[in-house]
Amino acid sequence: MRDQPKAADLLEWYDRHARKMPWRVGPAERQSGIMPDPYRIWMSEIMLQQTTVAAVKDYFLRFTERWPTVTDLANARDEDVMGEWAGLGYYARARNLLKCARVVAHELDGVFPDTETGLRDLPGIGPYTAAAVASIAFDRKATVVDGNVERVMARIYDHHTPLPAAKPALTEFADALTPDQRPGDYAQAVMDLGATICTPKNPACGICPWRSACRARIQGTASELPKKTPKKPKPIRLGTVYIARRVDGAYLLERRPDQGLLGGMLGWPGSDWAETAVPDHQLPIRAEWKELPTEARHTFTHFHLRLTVKTALVPMDRKPKQGDFIELADFRPSDLPTVFRKAFYLTKDL
């Protein structure tokens, strides 16, 4: 009879090897009755969407220091939150973060729902995030499946259907293994297993708590899994940004519309981004524009972007047609999305 993976074996491993994270309440603390703050768990899960733990930690600490409660965040100015989020990417998350905080603070008396169903009713919370918050913050039995969990399940069951078609089956496997006892710790344990032992390359099968039950290890196929459907090559889009500096040092910037890519973020005026070069449209201010010899390049989820950067020095009395001047003392490059910071740093040697 082939061994079956047991939640108890994974939890025993997790009790010894749980990763330490600023939002996490460790297994010993949980077993002593200390429960996580739902606000911190929710914020971490929103930040971790399509983003690594290493990239999120500093942002999480800054956010929770500046806005320690959901009410504090709900009362924050949009531009302050978007500025703190700059560089983390996927900016719709920041807009949804504010929307959700305001619903919880102003309509739910600052209390997060403790069920998947209740959490799904909040802005910006989908099936994965609802399951993660319900499980980790409230110890509800919920099936939490991220990329790490998909990889673990594909290997444990030697499942060769490529992703994304394999998602329903892998979710069923994960659901069958989720225990009634300590589901919050279990959810974090299986994610930790994928992040530290059952890694994409060179998995450490010899020290895995589920090694005796892993069908892919037995079959010698672990390194092949999970299989993925090949992605189409990303298209390249082109655009232009205009970096105007006034003689007193102020920079011409604009707040992007709330809807669309980089919505609500501070940025340089510029053209649309298209697969063919867009001729100079209505320039943001009358000036003698100079084109830099180097492009600003950035990759988004669905396309590569190449930006032509044009700069100008303008007199004090010149009025912009687009955007507003921000005094040098109030300008922080860190408030800009990464793509616009890249463009800015190309001008530093001018």
Q: Is residue 246 part of a domain?
A: yes
pTM: 0.83
Task: Looking at the structure, tell me whether residues 241 and 219 fall in a common domain.
Answer: no
Q: Is residue 72 part of a domain?
A: yes
Task: Looking at the structure, tell me whether residues 209 and 247 fall in a common domain.
Answer: no
Task: Looking at the structure, tell me whether residues 217 and 305 fall in a common domain.
Answer: no
Task: Looking at the structure, tell me whether residues 190 and 49 fall in a common domain.
Answer: yes
CATH number of the domain at 263, please: 3.90.79.10
pLDDT given for residue 231 in this prediction? 86
Tell which of 164, 199, 224 closes a domain. 224
Q: Is residue 2 part of a domain?
A: no
Task: Looking at the structure, tell me whether residues 79 and 220 fall in a common domain.
Answer: yes
Q: Is residue 350 part of a domain?
A: no
Task: Looking at the structure, tell me whether residues 52 and 184 fall in a common domain.
Answer: yes
Tell which of 176, 204, 224 closes a domain. 224
Reported as a single tens digit per residue, the pLDDT across 52-105 is 999 999 999 999 999 999 999 999 999 899 989 988 888 889 999 999 999 999
Beta pairing, strands 324-326 & 290-291: unpaired
Task: Looking at the structure, tell me whether residues 96 and 170 fall in a common domain.
Answer: yes
Task: Looking at the structure, tell me whether residues 67 and 189 fall in a common domain.
Answer: yes
* Catalytically annotated residues: 45
Task: Looking at the structure, tell me whether residues 217 and 297 fall in a common domain.
Answer: no
Please check whether residue 193 is in contact with residue 211, taking contact to mean a CB–CB distance below 8 angstroms. Answer: no
If the chain, 350 residues long, is cut into consecutive pieces of 10 residues, what is the mean pLDDT of each piece? 83 96 94 93 94 93 97 94 89 92 96 96 95 96 95 97 96 96 96 96 95 95 94 92 94 87 88 82 89 93 93 93 92 90 84
Q: Mark out the alpha helices in the chain (DSSP H runs).
A: 7-17, 27-31, 38-48, 53-66, 70-74, 78-85, 92-107, 116-120, 127-138, 147-156, 167-177, 183-196, 215-219, 338-345
Which domain range does residue 167 map to?
A: 7-224
Q: Is residue 129 part of a domain?
A: yes
Task: Looking at the structure, tell me whether residues 269 and 220 fall in a common domain.
Answer: no
Report the mean per-residue pLDDT for the chain.
Answer: 93
Please check whether residue 256 is in contact with residue 323, taking contact to mean a CB–CB distance below 8 angstroms. Answer: no
Distances (CA, A) of 79 to 56, 98, 119, 296: 20, 11, 26, 24
pLDDT given for residue 278 in this prediction? 73
Task: Looking at the structure, tell me whether residues 263 and 333 fall in a common domain.
Answer: yes
pLDDT given for residue 350 in this prediction? 52
Reported as a single tens digit per residue, the pLDDT across 243-256 is 999 999 999 999 98
pLDDT given for residue 128 in this prediction? 95
Q: Is residue 74 part of a domain?
A: yes
270 DSSP β-pair partners: 241
Please check whether residue 115 is in contact with residue 134, taking contact to mean a CB–CB distance below 8 angstroms. Answer: yes
Q: Mark out the alpha helices in 178-317 (DSSP H runs).
A: 183-196, 215-219
Beta pairing, strands 251-255 & 266-267: antiparallel
Task: Looking at the structure, tell me whether residues 25 and 139 fall in a common domain.
Answer: yes
The number of distinct structural domains making up the chain is 2
pLDDT given for residue 256 in this prediction? 87
Q: Is residue 1 part of a domain?
A: no
